[in-house]
Structure 1
Amino acid sequence: MRSQDWFSNNKGCNDEGDPQVVFNVLDAMLNGSLERLKSMREGISSIKAGLIGRVMNVSCAGYIAIIRDLCLVGKLGAALWLRRKMVQKGFVPDVITHNYLVNGLCKTGDLGSADWLIREMLEMGPSPNCATYNTFIKGYCLINDVDKALFIFATMNNNGIRPNRVTFNILVHALCKRGLLENAKKLLSEILEDDDEKKRSDLITSTILMDGCIKNGDIVQAFGIWDTMSQKNTLMDAIAYNVLIHGLCLTENMKLAYSYSCEMLKRGLLPDIFTYNTLISGLCKAGKLYEACHIHDVMLRMGVAPDHISYKILIQGLCAQGDVFRANDYLHCMLKKSMVPEPQVWNLIINGYGRCGDPDNAFAIRGQMMSFGVLPNVFTYNALIHAHVKVQNIVGANSLKKEMVCHGLFPDVVTYNLLISAACNEGRIHFALHLYNEMLGRGYEPDMITYTELIKGHCVMGKMNEAANLFSKLQNSGLAVDHVPFQILIKKYCIMRETDRAFDLYQKWLTRKNVGNDFERLTRKNVGNDFEPCI
């Protein structure tokens, strides 16, 4: 249009025009269009490159986040596959992401893959840091391969990485677990000489070392470490006190454990749930259930809420001493606080009622257990069967065995031992043998209690040949035989006035290593008494 206007204004051309002029105009127009097209293409290319770079950066960050999430949920195969795809595209994840991968591999015990990954980091990048090696060392300590952990510790300096106090603490803890306390002390001295946070690392590592001494039964050395920390005016924390109180409770030195818990309060350190649970456990083991229950009340007054472990320890201790009614009270305390106990706690109370010969309350607890959504297991049924056996209700006990099968649970050796014992006590030796054969048919191996109950049942019925055959089977079974079957047979032979056979059994018992005096003591103790083997 411009060229047409230009020619139309040129009066001398008479629409014929000059060909050279027309060519020059068209050439200029074409060059201008090509320049504009070139600049447009360059602009589009730069914008596209910028967009691609930004998209790649965003996708790379997303891949890294996905890798870390996969490691946290244990899907390490997918995480390693995604890392490999990133490396193939030229994007290497950072050291933190690699640490996630190393940590996940070490937790699953795949130390070979973790070693391969660290070697690849050393070759391709990013370079491992101290946290990488700490995780790797801890992985070997978890599988109790302390020698390999120490080897990795020795190679850290070769790779230009300086161990920190976390490294030393991991190794000190591993050495203490293996009982290598002297080696742990050497590492402790290295920490104290080389650590900037001397007081803090002294407390942490000394606490680990003290815990190791306690677990190895050396409470004296643990006190020595405690005294050393006190002389250095180390500011103790609640963890250090809990470790010491735990050691004192293990040695049943409850007075001293109380005194250190009081010292915590004087220093402004409030005892936590671990402190109270340790005291409750120590008191229950020492048979001081009244004091243990008092600690529970103290916890409530101090604002520390008892947890599942607190109630489990109390219920277990009370049931062991036969105070099942008080144990049931603590069960109700748990339920009021919306704390549904695990099956073991319910089974403890059911078994407690069963041993007291109270099947009604035992079944009531079973019903309550099911109402809270906790399904009975084999131990629950064994406790209920024991309750029926205590009141000599063998029919009810056997019906529970059938009920187990209907609920998809299979009787175990304890179930059969309880039923065989009940049958033998009632003189139903044929039913006891039927249970014995059924037990063998299910693939269970009889234990010493099974043989002892059957020997006792045959002795009661006067079938001494069958009892002697069972005793021979027991001796040839490879099981550890105690004094009970010997005593049952000897007592029966003495009643039958077959003193020669009784004396032969007595001689066999004496030939067993270090049992003669024990047998004589038990025989004199049980003369004239009816013997009832415990299950």
Structure 2
Amino acid sequence: MTENGVFPDQQTYSILFDALCKAGRAEEANVLFTSLSKKGVKASNVMYNSLIHGECEIGHVDKAQALLERMASEGCFPDTYTYNSLIGGLCKERKLEEAIQLLHEMPEKGVEPDTNTFNVLINEMFKKGEADLAKKTLGQMVSSGYSWDSYTFTIIIGFCFNEGRLEDIDNIMDEMKSKSIIPDLVTYNSLIHGYGKMGLLDKSFSILKNMIDAACKPDHLTFAILLDCLYRNSNASESFDSSQTWKQIGIDTVHELLQQMTKRGCIPCNSTYYILISAFCRCGRLDEAQILLGCMRETGLSPNDKIYASLIHCCINLKKHEEALNLLSVMNDFGYLPDLRLYQHLLSGLCDEGQFEKVKSMVLDLLERDYNVDEVIWKILIDGILKIGHHEMCADFFSKMEEKHCRISPPTYSLLIRKINCSQDGLQRQLKSQG
């Protein structure tokens, strides 16, 4: 510029200082600033604000305070932005008392605080465990005519999560709605993080759905929070409660979540897929669950027994028993020993469809495998086939068991007698003959 006879003016330097400070180069901006008088350029409020904010951002609060003291000597006067930068910087350094002193100084200098001023202070008060002071300041904020904004509510929500006061969260959200304050990205992320941290994954995904419905686009932090929640709760698929909310979570959103994981070097593992697949299965979305199963296999991961069990239970609930049997066969081929309750669920479904030959074949197969005979009796016959009224089939099984020398223990036998005391006389005689 100077080579062409063009010399930077006050506005040019203001833009330059702002750019340097935003890039974390406040020190360079400060060096240039000290040479302004030699260049015949007068300092301005905009320059001071950029420098003070920049120094605070890199933790040089002392230098920022020195700039504040110097302003008046150059005919510049601090405004709300100046004080907010300093108060924010002091709070980052955990110097709450000094930040509060600046708040009290503002009216003396003819400067009015704004909602942001109070938000920064209240947030730090809660962080330092000064809940009573924070609540008092919130009250003063309202009595002084300052309205709460979405960030104010977000701060309060964060405090409630930290205190475990989940019952208050819905009330806070209702109050936001009554004041026509729309939750923003920060609010939604705070809610997702809070519920996820407490193991309430279904609630976290419920908030994600609300967020998308409200046209608030999730950012990289949203997905990072969800990933963290998934890893925190990698063994707790029960956190998903099959609510209506999860039924509406799109497969595209889940794909985005998995892509974000990979981009961040957090390669999805069996636990990740188990949580997602079981969540889809719990609300009957078998197609989406199978899509994820395919994605999982493409990455070289082998589904574990829990994933197969989730898919099989879903097939049974949807009365897709052939698919359930195929998955059970695959599960057995991989050497997994399915839980007896899974067999109970499948056998009950097959009985409902009148596929009694398959039922007989499966029960007899169970008796020859590594299961405890008493457990098979209890979970499959007593709690399964007997409960749905197929007494003759049970009599047939007892005959086969006698042939195979499968003897049940006296306690289980006694329990069986009590359970079927209202059943057919023929079945009672069959049991007594085996006693």
- Decide: shared fold, TM above 0.5: yes
- Residue ranges of structure 1 left out of the alignment (5+ in a row): 1-81, 370-380, 391-535
> Counterpart amino acid of 1:134?
N
Q: 2:294, 2:39 → 1: CA distance?
A: 66
Quote the Cα distance in structure 2 between the aligned partners of 1:202 and 1:302: 28
Given that residues 319 and 349 in structure 1 are in contact (C-alpha distance below 8 angstroms), is that contact kept between their aligned partners in structure 2? Answer: no
- Of residues 115, 134, 152, the one that matches 1:240 is 152
CA contact (8 A) 2:55 2:63 kept: yes
Does residue 228 (structure 1) correspond to residue 170 (structure 2)? The answer is: no
- Corresponding residue for 2:97? 182
Choose the corresponding residue for 1:334, options 253, 258, 283. Answer: 253
Match status 1:145 vs 2:60: yes
Residue 166 (structure 1) aligns with: 81
232-241 vs 157-166, greater mean Cα deviation: 232-241
**Contact (CA 8 Å) 2:87, 2:99: kept in 1 or not?**
yes
1:298 aligns with 2:210: yes
Q: Could you tell me which residue of structure 1 aligns to residue 225 of structure 2?
A: 313
The answer as to whether partners of 2:96 and 2:124 remain within 8 angstroms in 1 is yes
Larger radius of gyration: 1
Q: Is the 1:284–1:314 Cα contact (8 Å) retained in structure 2? A: yes
**Secondary structure of the equivalent of 2:133?**
helix
- The letter for the 1-side match of 2:149 is D
Which whole-Å CA distance do the structure 2 matches of 1:314 and 1:114 have between them?
A: 39
Alignment partner, residue 489 of structure 1 = none
The 1:366–1:128 alpha-carbon spacing in structure 2 relative to 1, beyond 3 Å, is farther
Letter in 1 for 2:62: D
TM-score normalised by the chain length of structure 2: 0.56
Structure 2 unmatched ranges of 5 or more? 241-245, 278-289, 306-435
Q: Which amino acid aligns with 1:106?
A: C
Q: Compute the TM-score of the two structures, normalised by the length of structure 1.
A: 0.46
1:191 paired with 2:110, answer no
1:496-515 equivalences in 2 (<5 Å): none
Q: Which has the higher contact order (CA 8 A, sep 6+)?
A: 2
1:273 to 166, 185, 194: 185
Partner-residue secondary structure (3-state), 1:341: helix
SS at match of 2:94: coil
Distance of aligned partners of 1:284 and 1:100 in 2 relative to their CA distance in 1, 3 Å threshold: same
Shift of 1:289: 2.3
Task: Give the C-alpha shift of residue 163 in structure 1.
Answer: 1.2
Query: What CA distance in whole angstroms lies between the structure 2 residues aligned with 1:236 and 1:354?
Result: 41
Contact 1:280 1:313 survives alignment (8 Å): yes
Counterpart pick for 1:352 among 252, 271, 288: 271
Distance of aligned partners of 1:100 and 1:351 in 2 relative to their CA distance in 1, 3 Å threshold = farther
* % identical equivalent positions: 24
Distance 1:246 1:153, change over 3 A: same
8 Å CA contact 2:122, 2:137 repeated in 1: yes
CA contact (8 A) 1:334 1:340 kept: no
Once the 2 structures are TM-superposed, how far is the Cα of residue 169 of structure 1 from its aligned partner?
Answer: 0.6
How do 1:387-406 and structure 2 match up within 5 A?
none
**Corresponding position of 1:254:** 166
User: How far apart are residue 223 of structure 1 and its match?
Assistant: 1.8
How many positions carry a matched residue from both structures? 286
Task: Give the structure 1 partner of residue 387 of structure 2.
Answer: none
- For residues 311 and 113 of structure 1, the distance between their equivalents in structure 2, rounded to whole angstroms, comes to 36
1:85 aligns with 2:3: yes
* Secondary structure of 2:159's aligned partner: helix
Q: For 2:262, give the aligned amino acid.
A: P
